[in-house]
Each structure stands twice: as C-alpha cells, then as structure tokens.
Amino acid sequence: MYLTPNLSNLSDSDHLQDLTHRSAKVSVIIVLGVMITLGNIAVLLVITSSVAGWSRNSRYFLLSLTAADSAFGLLIMPLNLSVSLLKDYSEGPDTLCHVVAFCNATVYSTCMYTLATISLERYIAVFYPLQYSTLMTRKRTLSLIAFAWCFPLFLLSPITFPNGIIEVHFSNASLVCNPSYSTNVAYTLSLTCLIFFPCSIVMTYANLRVWCAAKRQRLKLRKYGCALRSRHNVAARVLVPVMAVYYTCWTPCMAVMIYNAVSGSSVPEWVEFVVVWLPTSNGFLNCIFYFWINKNFRRKFHLILRRLALSLCPELAETLGWSTTSSAQFVSGILDNNNLVHERSSSVSSTCTLLSLA
C-alpha cells in the first residue's frame, strides 16, 4: 500500500530543523562577538598608554584597527541579531535593513582600509627610517585614518536608500541584512575594485617587501656570525600569519559576493553563513597577530593586570604573588624601558624590529 507523505509533519520537521540551525548560528555569532569584544578591550587597555617599540603614529593606526575590530562585536553582531529577532521574514526590504546593511559594509570596508594603512606605515618605517618623521607626520597619519573611516561612508551611501540602486533583504541563511548585489553588477564590481583589490595589493606588496628585506638581513647576520640559527624568524612569525589570515577571512566573502552578482544565484545555506561571518573573526585574530605576539605588549598587559589586582582585590594579588614591592619593581622596569623608546621617533609596531631581528 502506497502511503502519501504527511505534509503537516514534513512542515513541522522542516520548521524544527530551521530552528535548530538558527539556534546554532546565533550561538556561534554570540561566542564570536564575545571573543572579539573581550580581546579588543584588553588591547585598548594597553595601547591607550605607551608601549615599548611603538611610536605615536603606530599607536594611532593600531587604535584605529582596534576600533574597527571592536565594531564587529559591539555594533555589527547586535544589529543583525536584533533584526533577526524583530523582523518578520515574510516582509520585504525596509529602512532598518538598509541601515544595518550599510553599517555592515562600512565596518568591513574600514577594517580592510585600516589594515592597508598599517602595512603602508610599516613599509615606510622599514625602508625609509630616516625620512619617516617627514613622510609620516601626525597630520598625514590622521588623514590616512580619516580616509579609512570616511571614504567607505561615501562609497557605500547608495545602500542606505530603500528605493535606490541596491536592494537589501534579510537572509535567513546568514542572519544578516545583505545587499542584493545581483541587481547591480556594475556597482558590485566597482566596490571590489575600490576596496578589496587595492587593499590586498597594498598589503601584499608592502609585507612581501618587508619580509624579503628581513630575510636578506637575516642571511647577512648569519654569514657574519651575528645571529643564531636557532633564533625565531620574526618575519615568518608575524607577516606570514597576518597575510594568511587576511586572505583566508576576506577572499571567500568577496568571491561569493562576485559570484552572486554575476550568476544571480545563491550559494548553499551554511556556505553563505560561513563566508559572511568569517571576516568578523579577523577582528579577533588581529588581536593575536598584531598584539599578543609582541613581547612588550604582553609585558604591559601583565603590568595592567597587576595594577588592577592590587587596586581591586589585594588578597587575590597576594595569593598570586603580586606583592606591592615586586609590582613596584616590575612597573619601574617597564617605565624605564618606555622612556627610552619615546626617543625613537621612527619606531613602529612589532614588525618594525624585523631588520634588527629584535
């Protein structure tokens, strides 16, 4: 006997599966948002004060990067989760979704531009150390940071108009408000040509040149017996992970965006979810490769933890062996180191010590 399928049960099963998938996606987004927020808060606590090896200009750029990364956890994720809870999926595009999509695209673009400006500043510091103070003045530094934050606002402004050239819809697959790039292929391709490709070219060229220079210098030092073979390769430890993480996080998202615009079809549900949210993980990984891998940063963070523990919970500090005397000696050593570093006007962040292999 042939039994016809129970459509109501099938619908209930599909609905339950959708709820399960949605719960799993929301959990992943929340965990990622917490990791990004906590990681960048720790970074802000450190780089708002002086750190050995980082000049004033370097701190400006790194503060800009930290602010852009923090926006992933403090702005992008709450906005999209709020829309996913409030919006009726049967409704069409609305003004709120356009605003959220504009915020998403702006923060993503600002992060890429900021990464490119950091690579450019490090390139100048390594190859033009004597002209660094002239080329990277405070005014030019702030102008580059302002460009990284303001140009995306102008470039992506068409997304904000509900009846404009770009349509926006809420995606159940990725739980974000996505622009329908297939409605305007030319605009989509122009965005990638003005954002992703220029930033990628600048980062790749600058970091590759610095890596090659560091490798040549390392070989020279080995030749004259000035460097130990067992010493860590700073260039490989910093530059290679930075570029690998950048392309891993951003390339799939850009590729899917171009594919959707050209073909007019969408990718599978979980593929869309991964490629849309993968760039936000760059906001957490930047904390590791730009900050935690730097010894001076870790020392300064340790100092801040000691200060907080001594002021908020002296008993816990004593239990951990952070007595007032030992902390004072530790603080004195850090401050003496920082006072010497302030005299170096052309110093930059962790990779600016590549040529000296410090």
CATH code for the domain of 293:
1.20.1070.10
Q: Is residue 21 part of a domain?
A: no
Q: Is residue 55 part of a domain?
A: yes
Better-predicted residue by pLDDT, 94 or 141 = 141
- Among residues 54, 355, 356, the alpha carbon closest in space to that of 212 is found at 355
Q: Is residue 220 part of a domain?
A: yes
In degrees rounded to 5, what are phi and psi of residue 179? -65, 140
Q: In this structure, are residues 207 and 242 in contact, taking their beta carbons and an 8 Å threshold?
A: yes
Neighbours of 151 (CB within 10 A): 16
Q: In this structure, are residues 40 and 287 in contact, taking their beta carbons and an 8 Å threshold?
A: yes
Q: In this structure, are residues 152 and 195 in contact, taking their beta carbons and an 8 Å threshold?
A: yes
User: Which phi-psi region, left, alpha or beta, contains residue 225 (left: φ > 0; alpha: ψ -120 to 50)?
Assistant: left
Q: What is the pLDDT of residues 200-221, one digit of tens each?
A: 999 999 999 988 888 887 777 7
Q: Which two tokens stand for residue 9?
A: 């049960």
d(CA 32, CA 54): 28
In degrees rounded to 5, what are phi and psi of residue 240? -65, -50
Q: Is residue 124 part of a domain?
A: yes
Q: Is residue 4 part of a domain?
A: no
Amino acid 12: pLDDT? 64
Q: Which two tokens stand for residue 131?
A: 């002209």
Q: What is the pLDDT of residues 328-348, one digit of tens each?
A: 444 444 444 444 333 333 343
Q: What is the pLDDT of residues 323-332, one digit of tens each?
A: 554 444 444 4
Q: Is residue 228 part of a domain?
A: yes
Q: Is residue 353 part of a domain?
A: no
Q: What is the pLDDT of residues 288-298, one digit of tens each?
A: 877 777 777 77
pLDDT band at 230 (very low <50, low <70, confident <90, very high): very low
Residue-wise DSSP of 295-320? HHHHHHHHHHHHHHHHHH-HHHHHHT
Q: Is residue 312 part of a domain?
A: no
What domain range is 146 assigned to?
26-298
Domain count, the chain: 1
Most confident range, picked from 194-198, 223-227, 354-358:
194-198
